[in-house]
Structure 1
Amino acid sequence: MQSQFRPIIRQKILDAQAAPLPSLTRRDVWLPAVAGKALAVIGMRRAGKTSFLWQLLAERHALGVPREGLLYFSFEDERLAGLQAADLDVLVDEYFRLHPQWRDQRRCTFFLDEIQVVSGWEVFARRLLDSENIELFLSGSSAKLLSREVATSMRGRAMEAVVTPFSFREALRHAGQEPDKPAPNLGKAGQSQLEHLLLAYLRDGGFPEAQGVAMDARSRRELLRGYVDVVLLRDVIERHNLSQPQVLRWLVQQLLGNTAGAFSINKFHADLRSRGVPVGKDSLHQMLAHLEDAFLLSSIALATDSVRRRQVNPRKVYPVDTGLMAVFDPSGKPNLGHALETVVLHELQRRGAAVGYVLTSSGYEVDFHAALPGGEQWLVQVCLDVSDAATLQREVRALQDARLDWPRARMMLVYLSAPPALAVPAPIELHRAIHWLLQPMDGTS
């Protein structure tokens, strides 16, 4: 097959396989184990998807797969501008010309990054799975195709692995401070240090590029603001050809400036109308969906079996990263209580839980009801400081009231600070945040 891109593709293959493996912070991303599927690595821009592809490549190499059996190829290269779906066969062609002993004889692995820039790539990827002995990983995010659409475009032939900003454990690992034993087994000094680091994590967030004490607060804030601007412009405004970008920005300010708060499209729409802004409710619903598709934020509904109750009650909205809170909070500072709540939600989602919030008939609210993949249910209340007796009593009462509707659920109170002697009625479980967040993914101590 003749192609003007053949020499470029061949050289990129040679360069990628000759390049030293980068030294990267290991990520704790859950990978589905389903044979015969491609794996689509998805997530918000700058969360570390490309780095994760290299991590997967390095892990296979460490297990004994030679470098020639592992190919990382990025399509984000100006020399490949104009590449068509028909040219993608050149990639396979050139790879097996370089390594003919691998064709059909051994299973090689392709890591195709930013493949969505090539129109028609989906047919090529499905054909690779059907006709070649290749394990396939895909990733990408752009205005042409959002990262989640990389998976859906494969029509059932791909599973998703979601890469988020660093978890608390990953942030500690990145800084070289991950504990080498369970957090409860650390001494008092070690636990105090962890609490200090958690406060910094709640404030600064987990985007890899924003880590490190060397970055001042203003630089970090501008970096994160830039991330949001790119998502809004490329992944929402350009991608969906929005005609009211200012309304989108007002919506984002409302959502990210009110983390963990109840949000109602109806109320926001009424507020805009009172200011003379002509926009339809359907447009606002679509904007919220676009923001979630771009992984900028997530919203959770009321935990109930009633579809009508879910629809009529407001949703609670959380940013993808706590570092974004100070960018949009009018005070310029994050609410640490809401930041801790956000981090707990992200940890539940990493564990594969379906999450909603609870509002009891008596008017009490519990932050999260989590239905875990194994069938276990958790009621999780998050509180920054339970030193005040009235605060503790309110949190306990909410859990007890919620359990009347969820009798099989474990009740957990996750807190940052507490008095030395803290007691709650059984079977409520007390969890210090630095311990709970560093538990293994199965939830065991």
Structure 2
Amino acid sequence: MEKAIGEILSEWFAKDLPELVEREMDVPIEGGQVVALVGPRRAGKTSLLYQVAKRLLREGYNRRNLAYIDFEDVRLGSLGSSHFSVFLKSISEHLEEKEGEGKIVLLLDEIQRVEGWESWVRTLHNFGKYWIAVTGSSSRLSTAEIATQLRGRYIPRLVLPFSFREFLRLKGERTDPTAISTPEGRGRILRLLREYLRWGGFPDVAKAAGEDRKAELLRVYRDTIFYRDVVDRFRVRDVSSLEAFSRMLGESLGKAFSISKAEKSFRSAGIKKSKRTLSEYLRYFESAFFLFTVEKMGNKARERALQPKKVYPIDPGIYGIYT
């Protein structure tokens, strides 16, 4: 295992960092707390780690002051809690503290694959010499789970698909007011706005050529979120009822969604599902970053809680899957 970690770090020192669309997000890794990047899968969490690395290199860090480690690397497949000493020895051997600051930056991607990862991160943080950012699969690492595991030592950052401004930057368009100062500029922006509203801002979807490929990617994302981030993560046994509930949600995107009406729909189909179970189903989809809910405005919390919530997709492209 020590050899594998050493190889990965040596490859990092020689690796060319990818060209990126600059995300409009602050990742305050220098603040002393662990930064945890969470959000829907394929939204660009790994790219954001590379963005942090590129920023630090511009600010005077060198490659031996920081490291990006992908724990999905097959060579680290057997890495577990018993290997912490080996990991610590390897990074101490290959990395060095930034002169004048005494810090080493660790960018740990898909950290949840390491058994006992939370103890690793807490221990590294307690040493005081490491600035740490972590990402994890939404099927294994949620904001609530990170809060439990890291116990106040972290700052969460929700990574969503591209905003429209970031989407324009990907397409090579200016994002300042002069971009719409001419009829041609306004026409291009309106055309790209229609594309964004139809296909959304998931990076690979936005980059994909052709509508068939974009639609295919979105369907894959939907199915992966459903089976891995909801069914597997929450150990749902009645998958057919969950699928029916998912279709109800899809047909209600942008509208008020009533748990009571959903319960009646199941009952009319001869399926007994309590309102509590259906409320849990809704929470599962929110936890998986598939959608979010908005309460009806009101002065009293009880009144707001009793009213149907509106449901919105995490990305505009999800609308198209159901229409």
- Tell me the residue number matched to 2:125: 129
User: For structure 2, which runs of at least 5 residues remain unmatched after alignment?
Assistant: none
Q: Quick one: structure 1 residues 185 and 46, their matched pair in 2 at CA, closer, same or farther if it must change by over 3 Å?
A: closer
- Tell me the residue number matched to 1:393: none
- Tell me the residue number matched to 2:223: 229
Render the CA deviation track for 1:227-266: whole Å, top value 9, x for unaligned: 0111111111111110111222222222223221100111
- Tell me the residue number matched to 2:198: 203
**Any idea what SS the aligned residue of 1:88 has?**
helix
| Contact 2:71–2:113, Cα closer than 8 Å, also in 1 | yes
| Contact 1:138–1:150, Cα closer than 8 Å, also in 2 | no
**Any idea what SS the aligned residue of 1:137 has?**
strand
| Contact 2:173–2:179, Cα closer than 8 Å, also in 1 | no
1:152 deviation in Å?
4.3
Residue 263 in 1 paired to residue 232 in 2?
Answer: no
What's the C-alpha RMSD, in Å, of the aligned pairs?
2.1
Q: Quick one: structure 1 residues 73 and 148, their matched pair in 2 at CA, closer, same or farther if it must change by over 3 Å?
A: farther
1:148 deviation in Å?
5.6
* Larger helix share, 1 or 2: 2
Query: Which of 30, 39, 43 is the aligned partner of 1:43?
Result: 39
Letter in structure 1 aligned against 2:125: L
1:35 deviation in Å?
3.1
What aligned pairs does 1:243-254 form with structure 2 within 5 A after superposition?
A: 243-254=237-248
Q: Quick one: structure 1 residues 85 and 103, their matched pair in 2 at CA, closer, same or farther if it must change by over 3 Å?
A: farther
Q: Quick one: structure 1 residues 255 and 63, their matched pair in 2 at CA, closer, same or farther if it must change by over 3 Å?
A: same
* Larger strand share, 1 or 2: 1
Q: Quick one: structure 1 residues 309 and 31, their matched pair in 2 at CA, closer, same or farther if it must change by over 3 Å?
A: farther
- Tell me the residue number matched to 2:153: 157
- Tell me the residue number matched to 2:186: 191
Aligned length: 323
1:142 deviation in Å?
5.1
Q: What TM-score, normalized by structure 2, do the two folds share? A: 0.93
Higher relative contact order (CA 8 A, sep 6+): 2
Letter in structure 1 aligned against 2:291: L
Distance in 2, matches of 1:16 and 1:34, equals 21
- Tell me the residue number matched to 2:286: 292
Query: Which of 170, 177, 183 is the aligned partner of 1:174?
Result: 170
Structure index of larger Rg: 1
Letter in structure 1 aligned against 2:192: L
Distance in 1, matches of 2:302 and 2:94, equals 59
| Contact 1:148–1:293, Cα closer than 8 Å, also in 2 | no
**Identity of matched residues, %:** 34
Residue 241 in 1 paired to residue 226 in 2?
Answer: no
**Any idea what SS the aligned residue of 1:153 has?**
helix
Letter in structure 2 aligned against 1:204: W
1:84 deviation in Å?
1.3
Q: Quick one: structure 1 residues 137 and 33, their matched pair in 2 at CA, closer, same or farther if it must change by over 3 Å?
A: closer
Render the CA deviation track for 1:150-185: whole Å, top value 9, x for unaligned: 354211111111111110010010111133x32586
What aligned pairs does 1:13-412 form with structure 2 within 5 A after superposition?
A: 13-31=9-27, 35-100=31-96, 106-141=102-137, 143-146=139-142, 149-179=145-175, 181-182=176-177, 186-212=181-207, 215-329=209-323
Distance in 1, matches of 2:77 and 2:103, equals 30
Q: Quick one: structure 1 residues 142 and 297, their matched pair in 2 at CA, closer, same or farther if it must change by over 3 Å?
A: closer
Letter in structure 1 aligned against 2:255: G
Letter in structure 1 aligned against 2:256: A
Distance in 2, matches of 1:144 and 1:192, equals 43
Q: Quick one: structure 1 residues 32 and 271, their matched pair in 2 at CA, closer, same or farther if it must change by over 3 Å?
A: farther
- Tell me the residue number matched to 2:2: 6
